[in-house]
Amino acid sequence: DQQVKQNSPSLSVQEGRISILNCDYTNSMFDYFLWYKKYPAEGPTFLISISSIKDKNEDGRFTVFLNKSAKHLSLHIVPSQPGDSAVYFCAASGEYGNKLVFGAGTILRVKS
Amino acid sequence: DAGVIQSPRHEVTEMGQEVTLRCKPISGHNSLFWYRQTMMRGLELLIYFNNNVPIDDSGMPEDRFSAKMPNASFSTLKIQPSEPRDSAVYFCASSDSYGYTFGSGTRLTVV
A70: β partners:
none
pLDDT digits (tens, 9 = 90+) for A28-75: 999 999 999 999 989 999 999 999 999 999 999 999 999 999 999 999
Which of A97, A101, A105 minimises the CB distance to B97?
A97
8 Å CB contact of A6 and B105: no
Are the C-beta atoms of A102 and A4 separated by less than 8 Å?
yes
Residue of A nearest to B103 (CA): A43
pLDDT computed for residue B40 by the predictor: 80
pLDDT computed for residue A12 by the predictor: 98
User: Would you say residue A96 has pLDDT above 60?
Assistant: no
pLDDT computed for residue A89 by the predictor: 96
pLDDT digits (tens, 9 = 90+) for B81-95: 999 999 999 999 999
**Chain A: closest CA distance from residue B44 (Å):** 7
8 Å CB contact of B100 and A46: yes
pLDDT digits (tens, 9 = 90+) for B59-109: 998 899 999 999 999 999 999 999 999 999 999 999 987 788 999 999 999
Which residues from chain B sit within 8 angstroms of residue A42, using beta carbons?
104-105
Which residues from chain B sit within 8 angstroms of residue A45, using beta carbons?
102
Which of B41, B97, B105 minimises the CB distance to A43?
B105
Q: What is the average per-residue pLDDT within A13-26?
A: 98
Distance, in Å, from the CA atom of A49 to the CA atom of B36, rounded to the nearest integer, reads 22
**Which sign does the torsion angle of CA A92, B90, A48, A108 carry?**
negative
Choose, out of B37, B40, B44, B98, the residue to mutate when testing the contact with A (most A CBs < 10 Å): B37
pLDDT computed for residue B38 by the predictor: 87
Distance, in Å, from the CA atom of B30 to the CA atom of B94, rounded to the nearest integer, reads 7
The DSSP string of chain B is: ----EEE-SEEEE-TT--EEEEEEPPTT--EEEEEEEETTTEEEEEEEEETTEEEE-TT--STTEEEEEEETTEEEEEESS--GGG-EEEEEEEEETTEEEE---EEEEE-
Integer-rounded Cα radius of gyration of chain B: 13
8 Å CB contact of A102 and B40: no
Instruction: Report CA-CA distances (Å) from B14 to B18, B62, B108.
Output: 9, 18, 11
Which residues from chain A sit within 8 angstroms of residue B54, using beta carbons?
none
pLDDT computed for residue A22 by the predictor: 98
